[in-house]
Amino acid sequence: MSPREPGTSGREPSLPRATAAELVRRAFVASRATRSDAADFAWVETILTPAEHALWRRQSPFDRDHVVQVARRVERRLAATGLENDPRWIGAALMHDVGKARAGLTIFERVLAAAAGRIVRLDTARRWATARGLKGRIGAYLTHGEVGARMIRDAGGRAEIAAWAEAHQNPRATARLGIPAEVVEALIESDVA
């Protein structure tokens, strides 16, 4: 990989895109009943390949609910553009956080991780991700984009879906993904609680 490629230089901040305030807001959302229903889960199966879906199911109920909401927003934002009919873009929304399944953090550990992400760099977070215990899980959480991309590629998932997972923590890395600009904008704007 090019040393200048955004997100891979080792000098990029390792912060997840969500701030601690956003995570607290998500904790509040998580404390309520999930918003996704059986129709949503059936819809997910029509979007993802069986291999992608097997990974998707490994996410926590909280994360599954989050990504379904993101994907529904993307679908609405892309409505009438013709792009909403391409399952790669809705699939990218559904799979963008799948790396968090490897971290397995509780919502409160995530707030701790977000605080840690303020003070460590990407190369440190990557080193943590190879450690055992909570440190390793926090490292995996902070780098969940690239962790998820590897999981998707290893499982034989679609290239664009893996590419978005890898890039989504760093919007500056989205320029050369080969994903239409309207789709990138919809994916970024829809990734809220």
Q: Does the protein bind Fe ion through residue 191 (CB under 5 A)?
A: yes
162, 152 in Cβ contact below 8 A? Answer: yes
Six-digit token string for 172:
């500056």
Residue 83 or 170: the one with the smaller Cβ distance to Fe ion is: 170
Nearest approach in angstroms of CB 97 to Fe ion is: 4
Identify each DSSP E strand in 36-192 by its residue range: none
Nearest approach in angstroms of CB 18 to Fe ion is: 7
Binding-site size for Fe ion (CB under 5 A) equals 2
Instruction: Please report, as residue ranges, which positions from 25 to 84 form the binding site for Fe ion (by CB under 5 A).
Output: none
Binding segment for Fe ion (CB under 5 A), chosen from 21-29, 38-46, 87-95, 184-192, is 184-192
143, 126 in Cβ contact below 8 A? Answer: yes
Reduced to 3 states, what is the DSSP secondary structure of residue 13? Answer: strand
d(C-alpha 63, C-alpha 30), whole Å? 9
Which of 75, 97, 146, 166 is the binder for Fe ion (CB under 5 A)? 97
Residues that bind Fe ion (CB under 5 A): 97, 191
